[in-house]
Structure 1
Amino acid sequence: MIDPITLIELTNLKASGQLETLAAHPQLAIKPEWMDELAQNKDSWVRRRLAENPALDTSDDVLASLLKDKDYNVRLNLAENPALVNSCAMIERCAKDRSALVRQTIAKNPSLSSIPGVSESLASDRSLYVRLNLAANLAAIRGSAKAANALCDDKAVRIRRSLAQNPAIANQPGVVAKLSTDKDPEVRLNLAYNPAIAYNPVILETLAADEDSSVRQAVASNPAIADCPDVIKELSEDEDSSVRFWLADNPAMVNLPEIADRLSKDESSAVRYALANNPAIPACTANAQPWQTQPTTQKAPSI
């Protein structure tokens, strides 16, 4: 049932020429013929307001008309309209839009994976920023191995760095393996911090032996290594005291008193300090150990 008060409000807006306000009204759908008129209005600002109106119906002819609008801001507003996030027609059309800004917006859409071929197409887009947004899109990377692999091989290092941070790559083991040996250390560093590698001991072992100490530090601080005693042992013997420091601070040490005992005697005071203040350590030993006797108020020494 149409609310008469709302109808009067809409009628007054139309009669007074306040078409921008009318086009943005959330109840505009009760007058579909007016939506069609507004979509054809010569004033682009009116069409822009209509394009961002959540009252738009994904099956409307109005949507088809706006998708062809010559003003890219109209198409951009459509791409950003939350009411159209699942619109196949909108996604497919905007993914091929001549404006890179429109394609960038679509590359962030969580419904990309439900439409075959769109993610794959955007993965080879000429715009760096389109590919960047796609690399950070959880649903798109989770749903398309082809797109994930294309981004993994992208020549632009920023793309690979972004992809290495995406938790959805956990579903793409081949991609994770490639990124773990990427020539760029920041790609490998981002991967080391990514929860996607939590249950991948092979990748953890690879990164724990990385030539870049910052990557090894990231692995040493990752609680996921709790199930990888060989990785922990390797890191506890690392030549870089910063790596050993982050390992000593890691709650993964809780079930490894032998390693903890070794670190409690480490030559680096920073490592011993980190171990002394690791809240997980008291849980794995009944008696006070040498690494627990240092006052917790002491400032961390520099490494």
Structure 2
Amino acid sequence: MPEAPTLADLIRRGAESGDPYLALAFHPYAEGSTREELEKVLFASRRQRIQFAGAPYTPPSVLGALARLDEPKIRARLARNPRTPPEALEYLFHEADGEGLAVALAAHGNATPELIEELPFRSDPEVRKAVCGNPSLPRSILKYVFAAGAPLECKAVASNPNCDVDLLIRLWRLQDLYVQAEVAAHPRCPEHLRHQALHHPEAVIRRKLAENPALTQDEVVRLLLDPDPGVRAAAAKGSTLTDEEHRQLAEDPSRSVRRAEAQRKGLDPQIMERFSRDEDSWVRRWIARNPEAAREILERLARDSELEVRRAVTRNSACPGDLLAELARDPESWVRAGVAFRTDLPEELVEALGQDSDIDVISGVGRNPHTPEALLERIARHADSDVRRAVILNKGAPPRILGLLKEDPYPINRATLVQHPALERADLLELLEDPEPQVRFIAANRLAREVQAS
């Protein structure tokens, strides 16, 4: 094959190779008789057909071709494969034994409203149960499911994005606790039902209400004063409050509330100072990662007794260089590794960390795009497969270093290598002969995509 193959060259190679994984990758790019030649390779054994019918990586074009095979086990897998295209689902229902597949088709994300309308949800409770959570469900069917469904089905109807106000009101009147909770959380929940949910004695309903994106400011404030900490925590995530209300949250006795507040952007400096001394280490961790934290706060948290808090400081984009250098000498390797993963380190600090004996630290250096090539080469030859993979995940790794890993003994490393943007086409062509099927498939898929685009 020429050094710069055409798409036709690749497809022909897939057909002539007898390799089902090359044929799988090239199938979407082939047409007519050439596609039929690939299908002879793909469907040569029943085991392969069954495997590809259920695999999440199988291209939709192959799933569509499999749907036309008269094999019930394959069709059952296709009905559950999330990549099966709408036209194949239609074929399965109309031309195959669609009644036996109705439950799977009812729940399928690619099922069209027209197909769902034809399914036997009126006579089959299992189909009705499967269909009521489908986001493609027309409102007419939602109303039917409500009229005929059990509480569990009605709960799914209440959470369906297509549910309208009238149906939400009718669902609320069922007086089922969990159905009402879903109604309270729905963006279309009308104001008078939100008011009832706000004063409901059951905390589960008030917690779900707090997740509703359509809440008014007054409703949010009321939920922030709720006696249940779970309700307050849910209300604190994403609410727009006054400074005084935020200060109250910072003093909340519930850790879950303080954690939710500590994650917020634009924290008042006084609140940030308060949180940096909080007894809960998770609260301190969120402050340690906050790029708006003052230097004195970061200095204190960089010496925190909890290693995860210190590591959080290493992940702060605003952490000053001298503090990073201090953390690079931390007695805990997990903290030093946090420094090693940063992409803004000076070369001398990268070199120093490269002399560390801990695997996590060396992996961080291996992924660092500022790591000198000579050091990367040493890491690429490391005995540990995870350390070698760090070099493969390094976006700045040069083609020469990547080429050293083409024959890495660990298949996952080679499968990851195939996806590196700097890997040269000659190396990709070599990987079409890799002993691992997934490596061959990913290499072939990438080659076909790039050749078609060029």
Supply the distance in 2 between the matched residues of 1:54 and 1:244 (Cα, whole angstroms).
44
Deviation, 1:153, is 1.5
Q: What is the aligned partner in structure 2 of residue 233 from structure 1?
A: 325
1:67–1:93: 8 Å Cα contact kept in structure 2?
no
- Aligned residue for 1:224, secondary structure, equals coil
Deviation, 1:101, is 1.5
Match for 1:269 among 333, 344, 357? 357
1:276–1:292: 8 Å Cα contact kept in structure 2?
no
Supply the distance in 2 between the matched residues of 1:72 and 1:26 (Cα, whole angstroms).
25
Question: Residues 74 and 212 from structure 1, CA distance in 2 versus in 1: closer, same or farther, beyond 3 angstroms?
Answer: closer
Where does 1:139-150 land on structure 2 (aligned, <5 Å)?
139-140=238-239, 143-145=240-242, 146-150=244-248
- Aligned residue for 1:117, secondary structure, equals helix
- Aligned residue for 1:118, secondary structure, equals helix
Q: Does 1:242 align with 2:337?
A: no
Q: What is the aligned partner in structure 1 of residue 77 from structure 2?
A: none
2:350–2:370: 8 Å Cα contact kept in structure 1?
no
Where does 1:137-286 land on structure 2 (aligned, <5 Å)?
137=237, 139-140=238-239, 143-145=240-242, 146-164=244-262, 166=263, 169-174=264-269, 175-192=271-288, 197-200=290-293, 202=295, 203-220=297-314, 222=315, 224-225=317-318, 228-238=320-330, 240-242=331-333, 244-252=335-343, 254-264=344-354, 269-270=357-358, 274-275=361-362, 278-279=365-366, 281=368, 283=370, 285=372
Deviation, 1:127, is 1.5
2:340–2:365: 8 Å Cα contact kept in structure 1?
yes
Supply the distance in 2 between the matched residues of 1:172 and 1:93 (Cα, whole angstroms).
32
1:84–1:90: 8 Å Cα contact kept in structure 2?
no
Q: Does 1:108 align with 2:211?
A: yes
2:181–2:205: 8 Å Cα contact kept in structure 1?
yes
Question: Residues 90 and 98 from structure 1, CA distance in 2 versus in 1: closer, same or farther, beyond 3 angstroms?
Answer: same
Supply the distance in 1 between the matched residues of 2:324 and 2:221 (Cα, whole angstroms).
39
CA displacement, residues 80-110 of structure 1 (integer Å, 9 cap, x when unaligned): 43x515x444434422222212101011122
Supply the distance in 2 between the matched residues of 1:54 and 1:261 (Cα, whole angstroms).
53
TM-score, structure 1 normalization: 0.61
2:159–2:182: 8 Å Cα contact kept in structure 1?
yes
Q: Does 1:91 align with 2:194?
A: yes
Question: Residues 98 and 263 from structure 1, CA distance in 2 versus in 1: closer, same or farther, beyond 3 angstroms?
Answer: same
Supply the distance in 2 between the matched residues of 1:100 and 1:67 (Cα, whole angstroms).
16
Q: Does 1:125 align with 2:226?
A: yes
Deviation, 1:182, is 0.6
Question: Residues 71 and 283 from structure 1, CA distance in 2 versus in 1: closer, same or farther, beyond 3 angstroms?
Answer: closer
Supply the distance in 2 between the matched residues of 1:173 and 1:26 (Cα, whole angstroms).
46
Deviation, 1:261, is 3.9
Q: What is the aligned partner in structure 2 of residue 298 from structure 1?
A: 383
Supply the distance in 1 between the matched residues of 2:353 and 2:170 (Cα, whole angstroms).
68
Deviation, 1:125, is 0.9
1:257–1:284: 8 Å Cα contact kept in structure 2?
yes
Question: Residues 148 and 106 from structure 1, CA distance in 2 versus in 1: closer, same or farther, beyond 3 angstroms?
Answer: farther
1:79 is matched by which residue type in structure 2? A
Supply the distance in 2 between the matched residues of 1:92 and 1:120 (Cα, whole angstroms).
13
1:183 is matched by which residue type in structure 2? E
TM-score, structure 2 normalization: 0.44
Aligned residues with identical type, % of pairs: 22
Question: Residues 241 and 73 from structure 1, CA distance in 2 versus in 1: closer, same or farther, beyond 3 angstroms?
Answer: closer
1:217–1:242: 8 Å Cα contact kept in structure 2?
no
Supply the distance in 1 between the matched residues of 2:210 and 2:372 (Cα, whole angstroms).
51
Deviation, 1:71, is 5.2
- Aligned residue for 1:297, secondary structure, equals coil
Identify which range, 198-207 or 102-111, moves more after superposition: 198-207
Supply the distance in 2 between the matched residues of 1:212 and 1:98 (Cα, whole angstroms).
39
Where does 1:59-70 land on structure 2 (aligned, <5 Å)?
none
Deviation, 1:27, is 4.3
- Aligned residue for 1:283, secondary structure, equals coil
2:301–2:310: 8 Å Cα contact kept in structure 1?
yes
Deviation, 1:210, is 2.0
1:248–1:275: 8 Å Cα contact kept in structure 2?
no
1:78 is matched by which residue type in structure 2? V
1:189 is matched by which residue type in structure 2? R
